[in-house]
Amino acid sequence: MSINRVNISGNLTRDPELRATSTGTQVLTFGVAVNDRRRNPQTGEWEDVPNFVDCVVFGNRADPLSRFLSKGSKVAIEGKLRWRQWEKDGQKRSKLEDIVDEVEFLSPRRDAGQQGGEVRAPAAPAAQVPSRAPQQSRPPAQNPPTADVYDEDIPF
């Protein structure tokens, strides 16, 4: 049995690039810089050494993610590794890339005041805040039932 899971967090090294395959599948590519701490053998001091990871998102999530990610954005990514090989100008090339399954935004959005995936109320009225999608009205929050609920009443 083998396990192929990758969890990284870091900053985007470039703006994402959105493309489509010949069959219409959307492909989003971007790079993430992840620091590694190493002791410098000459000075004995700890230093941050960057590692650069190429990341790829396929399918329906590619387009929405391309609108929210930008160079410098801090993200946490979960995915799997895939080795790819091709030939360019007569030379064989290869690379290991992260096929992204999940993305968590760790830096605030610039246009709506969101941070880390949680939504915060805008400071300005809704008409003045730029919106990407029409706002849908939510039903009012319901209060919990007033009857006492005991652990014995829960069927599991």
Residue spans per domain, the chain: 1-37+45-114
pTM: 0.65
Strand runs labelled E in the chain: 6-12, 17-20, 26-39, 46-58, 74-88, 91-105
What does the alpha-carbon distance between residue 47 and residue 38 come to, in Å, rounded to a whole number?
5
Q: Which residues, at least 6 apart from 148, have a Cβ–Cβ distance to it below 8 Å?
A: none
Query: Domain 1-37+45-114 is classified in which CATH homologous superfamily?
Result: Nucleic acid-binding proteins (2.40.50.140)
Q: Show the tokens assigned to 2.
A: 């083998």
Q: What is the pLDDT of residues 50-77, one digit of tens each?
A: 999 999 999 999 999 999 999 999 999 9
Give the C-alpha separation, 84 to 92, whole Å.
Answer: 11
Give residue-wise pLDDT tens across range 82-103. 999 989 999 999 999 999 999 9
